[in-house]
Chains A and B, each alone.
Chain A
């Protein structure tokens, strides 16, 4: 099964089970969770079932294309089922069958692995899924998102596509994967890995990244009308009514901040104490967006609740 057939098989599988098939986000994200199709839609009461590929950037994981397993950009296949159905594990195992892997013949285990994104103020409980000792997926029940308690709970399945493909194609080197007949993964990404590693570790202009971080941080506050003052108990205050706020452009700016922070981190330009401060700054922005999004959906009457009833 080629890399693209793997993607197609998952798209088909989840489409047949009622998921919307959407596209990757057009900004730099560290994981499929950052895509607003997950981060924002996991908030609030509206049901939501979606699946998509997410090219994910982790600047610190770059290895100049020399390590057969580590990449600064890799591909996740992200599925969100909200509310999480009781048979979510069975659905997941079925999806493995759809990839030609019979769980009976392998050792499949669900190993505790709680997930937390300190920058997004999000966390959940769940597992990493092992297939014959290889971690192939993350499985998370979201408990909080942007500091807001999730209800209902979203189930998030994240497939590590490169790992699964290496397993299916029986290769030890990610660059040897067949993306499509005749085209290897290395043909597409090996040079990119070297360039991005060189950029992230050596040449990224740290002053520029710091400035960009600060500018986008200001943008979030502006677009949401986020007040510098806080209310009782640290409550965020906004100068704009929910529907006057531009939550989506603001969220884009949060993603930018998170990305520039990651580059600065890879570049070794942040000390340990500064690191915590940066994370705290992004988290508060993410929270402001999450609260604004919730307020907007509420003001709109949570439209997808009705759609769901209509669909039934």
Chain B
């Protein structure tokens, strides 16, 4: 078995995000450098380990020696390198110099592209440890961090100051130095529990030796231990742990060996909203909350992940004191906030800037009210309730508690509203209008919340587009993409449909007197395009990009649910066996009639057989198809198309030649196909659908 290689860089406490970032870049660079040094192979196992105080790299499966190099490298074409008389040109001397060779070492190699200069590079392999010694300083230099810093003399930049480096190949030290630190075999244990430096005899001892020194170097192992400790501690408090993946990742990166110290607070603080208690514990102190049961009431207790627990009572006492002060602050803010009603804060919003060209939050709220009322009327929702919810939805931004805990916006507005005796529907809407916050968040499930959520987002979208703040590339400072996706998701998953065109026009009109926006037409068409892009991005995965495009093509940019019905109907049809033939036929009908004029069909010109049969079928079902389309029963319309027109149109294309010489017959034929194509295109643009069969129509130029 070959030796294991270990690199450990001991540092001062690295921030959580730095450790993951650095380990990732360390691994990538290591693999790259080993490959370049001919030491890469499939047998290599490259693993990273880390704590706040060390970044480690472990490589298994390294050969003891680098393989010899025997490589032929092609250079410039022979003719470009040598004159006919054989004297070397610049290209030849340059190539030779690049590889440290003489002109005499250059060979001619014949390839199927002609003669080329080549060199054969022979180099005996070195001992792996020697190669590593050359690579390692570069590897250390390449480790990247979200932010680097300098220290002491200020000559080297790294995530945090470096204190020691262990570099062992098997039991041998691979010597190098970096940042004025000489690599060796001495490592250090836990800062407080095993502070002395000690030597590692063998790279493979690393994990166990460090564990004895109170350092769990494997992040996953450390996390598993931490979670075990947390779950057990929650249980012994008679409750269950409030799960929090983000906090868990954060905590495991703050300790080298996790210990759990439980603590508690006065039960009276539980009168505060749960969200406040949890935010205080989590955001300020990084404590886990404990509930009586899953989803049950909070217990007046917390769990603290610490790095040392020699004296848990002292640690808990200190932490209890800090939490008490924090919760007392929270209580003070809530009590102060409750001295005035939510509506009393609206005047303050008049002096808060929404966006410098778009005016104040006060003005925004007035627009939201108008938008919400209009949207409510269109959706048959309670317009008064929607307008009132819109009026109050931003009021909590001026409360002390939201100033202190911005992530509680909406949540606290609801809480204060309920305590003021405001209708729970309105109170819920104050919270829900921020939903969905992201792809993983739910949409508002009640009408009022959904109305205000849409009213708010469209105001931001129209305003920003109206002053040219359009997202570009990755820059989207006003989260306009998320806002548009929110509206789409609310319409598709939530309780109200949205007529996008009417909504944009309403929101644009609401800005009158508040801000100078681009014209309604310009903003409308820019936003139409923007929404279509988002819809495509969001739905292409479940339904297929071509299905979404086909339906977007036929959609008029109004009702989002209408668009969804089209997409569902087309995608249902697409799964059916008759789809291929049908799609191919309608594509043909569309393509062949793209340029032709429409007009009444003269039945006297129809040829008996396939053409007359198609015309007869079509005239019989045409109105039914159009009626179903008009009433947005797209599945039914498509069923009619498939059942009634599928066979006749196939037969038509098999038996009838469209582009005959007689212009009257030809134009009549094109009018028939044109009307069929238009009727189907009202549902979805079949010509945009992908098909497996692409039968070429000989009468249509490619």
Q: Which residues of A come within 8 Å of B, CB atoms?
A: 67-69, 83-86, 89, 103-112, 114, 124-125, 127, 131-134, 141, 143, 150-153, 155, 167, 172, 271-273
Kindly list chain A residues whose C-beta atoms are within 8 Å of the C-beta of B12: 89, 110
Q: Is the CB of B353 within 8 A of A272?
A: yes
Q: Which residue of B lies closest to A272 (CB)?
A: B353
Q: How far is the CB of A79 from chain B (nearest CB, A)?
A: 16
A-B CB proximity, top 9 nearest: A132-B318, A112-B15, A133-B319, A110-B13, A107-B306, A151-B154, A125-B149, A105-B311, A133-B322
Are A106 and B311 interface neighbours, CB within 8 A? yes
Partner of A109, one of B150, B307, B314, B356: B307
Residues on A with beta carbons closer than 8 Å to the beta carbon of B192 = 103-104, 108
Q: A132-B315, A143-B149 in contact; A107/B309 too (CB < 8 A)? A: yes
- B204 / chain A contacts, CB cutoff of 8 Å: none
Instruction: Report how far A104 CA is from B151 CA in the complex, Å.
Output: 27
Q: How far is the CB of A194 from chain B (nearest CB, A)?
A: 17
| Chain A residues positioned under 8 Å from B329 (CB to CB) | 67, 69
Question: B304: which of A133, A167, A271, A273 is its contact (CB, 8 Å)?
Answer: A133
Chain B, residue nearest A268 (CB): B351
Judging by beta carbons under 8 Å apart, are B150 and A143 in contact?
yes
Which residue of A has the minimal Cβ distance to B147? A125
Q: Is the CB of B325 within 8 A of A83?
A: no
In Å, the complex CA distance between A132 and B259 comes to 13
Q: Pick the contact of B353 from A86, A131, A153, A273 — CB < 8 Å? A: A273
The answer to whether A107 touches B308 (Cβ under 8 A) is yes
Return B154 CB to nearest CB of chain A, in Å: 4
Residue of A nearest to B163 (CB): A86
Bound-state Cα–Cα, A272 to B308, Å: 44
Asked if A273 and B356 make an inter-chain contact with CB atoms under 8 angstroms apart, the answer reads yes
List of B residues within 8 angstroms of A133 by Cβ: 285, 304, 315, 318-319, 322-323
A106 contact from B308, B323, B328, Cβ within 8 A: B308
Residues on the B chain within 8 Å of A134, using CB: 318-319, 321-322
Known: A112-B16, A271-B353, A272-B353. A132 touches B149 (CB 8 A): no
Q: Which of A84, A105, A124, A143 contacts B152 (CB 8 A)?
A: A84
- In the complex, residue of chain A having the shortest beta-carbon distance to the beta carbon of B317: A132
Chain A neighbourhood of B353, CB < 8 A: 271-273
Q: Is the CB of A153 within 8 A of B150?
A: yes
Chain B count of residues within 8 A CB distance of the other chain = 44
Is B153 on the interface with A (CB-CB < 8 A)? Answer: yes
Q: Once the chains are docked, how many angstroms separate the CA of A272 from the CA of B361?
A: 13
Ordered by A's residue number, 30 sampled pairs between the chains whose C-beta atoms are within 8 Å are A67-B329, A67-B332, A83-B151, A86-B163, A105-B310, A106-B308, A106-B315, A106-B318, A107-B261, A107-B306, A107-B307, A107-B308, A107-B319, A108-B192, A109-B13, A109-B306, A110-B12, A112-B16, A127-B13, A132-B317, A132-B318, A133-B322, A134-B319, A143-B150, A151-B150, A153-B149, A153-B151, A167-B318, A172-B325, A271-B351
CB distance from B677 to the nearest CB of A (A): 57
Residues of B within 8 A of A84 (CB): 151-152, 161
Q: A89-B12, A134-B319 are in contact. List 5 more A-B contacts (CB 8 A).
A: A83-B151, A107-B315, A108-B192, A152-B154, A273-B356
Which residue among B261, B310, B353 has the maximum number of chain A CB atoms within 10 Å of its CB? B310
Q: How far is the CB of B331 from chain A (nearest CB, A)?
A: 12
B152 touches A83 (CB 8 A): yes
Q: How far is the CB of A150 from chain B (nearest CB, A)?
A: 7
- Known A134-B318, A272-B353; judge A86-B152 contact (CB<8 A): yes
- Chain A contacts for B154, CB-based, 8 A: 83, 150-153
- Asked if B308 and A153 sit within 8 Å, CB to CB, the answer is no
Answer whether A152 and B13 are a contact pair too, CB < 8 Å, given A111-B254, A132-B318. no
Contacts of B314 in A (CB 8 A): 105-106, 132
* A131/B318 contact (C-beta < 8 A), A104-B192, A112-B15 known: yes
Which residues of chain A are within 8 angstroms of B161 by Cβ–Cβ distance? 84, 86, 141
> Could you say which residues of chain A place their CB within 8 Å of the CB of B282?
none
B 136-157 to A, binary, CB cutoff 8 A, 1 in contact else 0: 0000000000010111111000
